[in-house]
Amino acid sequence: MLYLDHSATTPPYDEVVDTVAQVMKRHFGNPSSLHHLGVEADKLVSRAREVVAGSLNVRPEEIVFTSGGTESNNLAIKGIAYQYRRRGRHLITSQVEHASVYECFRQLESRGFRVTYLPVDSTGAVDPEAVRKALTDETIAVSIMHVNNEVGRIQPVGEIGSLLKEYPRVLFHVDAVQSIGKLELNPAEAGVDLFSVSAHKIRGPKGVGFLYRRSGVQLDPLLPGGGQENGLRSGTENVPLIVGAAKALRMTMDSRARSVGHLRKLRERLLREMDAIPGIVVNGSSRPEDMAPHIVNFSVPGVKPEVVVHALEKEQIYISTRSACSSGEEKPSRVLQAMGLPDRVAASGLRVSFSADNTMEEMIFFAAKLKQVLRELVSSFGEGAAFES
């Protein structure tokens, strides 16, 4: 099996699986309980919070545990919107955000907020000056992802954070789900007020994530109730998954320097191999420094991407058509369309995403199999099944 869909999810570390199992068996107490079992569970959550905070160079009280990236994004964006709506009802984001951000803003529009969706250039990048020009006296928040989950384009969040320091009444949220562990970004130094992460993208368990919330930033909670997580996320804490998430983050950050260099070499080799395959269009920037090291997005205009995915699956090779959250959709990619690509290109996008455990030989093998699959599909063109009408 060759798994090349790490942007959708990652196989958990063995150590994380063992840790989650041990905590489930030995520390099943409710962290809010006053007895010994509850106190021990609460200590584990506190320790996990310290580990996460230490990995980001922030304070433990600035970490809020959630169920994952979608909840973290929604808590950040809606939390700001409802908390500061008396200050203004204008919000700014981009046209290429993950669905959990994009649809969140769409929902807020239906509830009386005004949203500016910034365009991107042909590589998928937001212009920081476009952010500045979009600001008004009513603006209360800007949300721009660090790495696009579909194409892998790195957004200039550092520059955006710097310019927003001139506007202290505007809060800055960054979806860092695809960048954590691959790119270095200190949220506090970068002027980021809220920073979303999901554990299963960094070889942790599914169903858990966290939100960095700068001290002093108030949020209207999505889930009122017992007041857990400093009143921002009520509900009994999932202690095993929280501990597993902290362990996965620590292991990922400890190996980042070595793994990122290897990832960049893998991406470079894969692009070289794909250059020799007729009909392929690589999407994003041609400059390696503009792109995340673990994602390659490409199109084969005219070919249905799901047909390619399933043809490769028969060879036990696993890639995706776009974000896993919208991979079942047949319409052209919203992200690729926003980049100005023709519908034939935007409708045939495919994403390869890998990890530091992958090898150069696997990149060569994948490219060879991709070439073979495309050749076979072209040879059966008369049947029409693999091609758009």
Q: Known catalytic residues?
A: 325
Residue 367 near residue 20 (C-beta atoms within 8 A): no
Beta bridge partners of 198: 209
Q: How far apart are CA 125 and CA 148, in angstroms?
A: 9
Cβ partners under 8 Å of residue 244, min gap 6? 12, 16, 17, 19, 20, 23, 199, 204, 205, 208
Q: Which two tokens stand for residue 195?
A: 């920073």
Q: What is the CA radius of gyration of the chain?
A: 21
Helices (H), the chain: 14-26, 36-56, 69-83, 99-109, 128-134, 157-164, 239-254, 256-275, 305-313, 334-338, 343-346, 360-379
Listed residue (107, 165, 179, 158) closest to 135, CA to CA: 165
Q: How far apart are CA 322 and CA 230, in angstroms?
A: 36
